[in-house]
Chain A
Amino acid sequence: QKEVEQNSGPLSVPEGAIASLNCTYSDRGSQSFFWYRQYSGKSPELIMSIYSNGDKEDGRFTAQLNKASQYVSLLIRDSQPSDSATYLCAIHLTDSWGKLQFGAGTQVVVTP
């Protein structure tokens, strides 16, 4: 079992709709959770970080964390064509600051 799992997609989302991305992880001691966006040929860009259970909102993005279920999700509201990218879930494992464990990424395609 991979330590961080994401649906690979592609996830096709109509413009203006909500995109829902999921990520599960295996290490119960995981402390910090990040969502990165990566456009083709570019480097990952941090869009959300979340450290405690519950929801965290930033603009059109909402991250949700449930440590009991070992699950973190990202919602993108009012999806725009510019949101078309690969979204990477990354987890910082216990006592290992500096080492991020990444999922394989979910490709999102927003269709006009």
Chain B
Amino acid sequence: KAGVTQTPRYLIKTRGQQVTLSCSPISGHRSVSWYQQTPGQGLQFLFEYFSETQRNKGNFPGRFSGRQFSNSRSEMNVSTLELGDSALYLCASSNPRDGYTFGSGTRLTVV
């Protein structure tokens, strides 16, 4: 079966801009969670959506937001980008039987 698809793979943005990342989960998975990975902080949980509802949220500022559509695809948005937002953004598709499967990630560079 198809895996988790994240687009785009790479992004370069300027400080102050906003960005939207997309994640298509494994077919049948209704939970999508987002993570930020940086060398200094490691993998940190951003938020999780299930059936279009945000169920869990990590400790990130309100500039980080997300949503989930009825087909379980999810988007995350970062507004007013800062240099420190440069990171690998990963989404994970999950269900209790299969566990968590990560997409290839989006590498965001803020200049």
Contacts and interface: CB of A to CB of B under 8 A. Distances in A.
A105 B44 CA distance: 12
A46 B43 contact: no
B33 A99 contact: yes
A107 to B, nearest CB: 12
Contacts of B88: 43
Contact of A88 (B43, B99, B101): B43
A97 B96 contact: yes
Contacts of A97: 31, 55, 94, 96
Interface string B87-111: 0101010101001111111000000
A46 B88 CA distance: 18
DSSP majority for the B interface? strand
A98 interface: yes
Nearest to B99: A49
A103 B42 CA distance: 8
A104 interface: yes
B90 A43 contact: yes
A82 interface: no
Given A46-B101, A98-B55, A99-B48, 5 more contacts: A32-B99, A34-B99, A98-B48, A98-B50, A98-B56
A-B complex: 7 closest residue pairs judged by Cβ atoms: A98-B48, A102-B43, A99-B56, A43-B102, A43-B105, A104-B42, A98-B31
